[in-house]
């Protein structure tokens, strides 16, 4: 799955590091039923609010994760 982390994205002021995005993606891949709020993801990945939001947003925009109505992030099934 390609993840576009190109500079100059109109929706982000800062682009999260590729390593952080891959780390988060692997957690969701390793635990397919994982559902996390932003606050839970911040603790799991040891990130501040801004950095964690940017990582999760990058994964949502890349169609790796989705955000449900309750604000939880979960992997998009790739069957």
Architecture of the domain delimited by 18-75: Orthogonal Bundle (1.10)
Q: Write down the mean pLDDT value for the chain.
A: 87
Query: Phi/psi at 36 (nearest 5 deg)?
Result: -130, 140
Helices (H), the chain: 18-30, 38-45, 49-61
Task: Look up tokens 């603790």; give the residue.
Answer: 43
pLDDT given for residue 12 in this prediction: 46
Identify the band that residue 41 occupies on the pLDDT scale cut at 50, 70 and 90. Answer: very high
Packing angle, helices 49-61 and 38-45, rounded to 10 = 110
Average pLDDT over residues 11-36: 88
**Cβ pair 57, 9 in contact under 8 A:** no
CB proximity list for 42: less than 8 A, separation 6 or greater: 48, 49, 52
Q: Domain coordinates of the chain in residue numbers?
A: 18-75
């Amino acid at each position: 799955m390609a993840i576009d982390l190109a500079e100059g994205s109109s929706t982000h002021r800062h682009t999260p590091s590729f390593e952080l995005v891959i780390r988060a993606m692997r957690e969701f891949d390793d635990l397919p039923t994982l559902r996390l709020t932003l606050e839970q993801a911040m603790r799991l990945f040891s990130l501040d609010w801004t950095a964690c939001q940017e990582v999760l947003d990058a994964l949502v925009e890349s169609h790796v994760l989705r955000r449900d109505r309750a604000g939880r992030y979960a992997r998009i099934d790739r069957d």
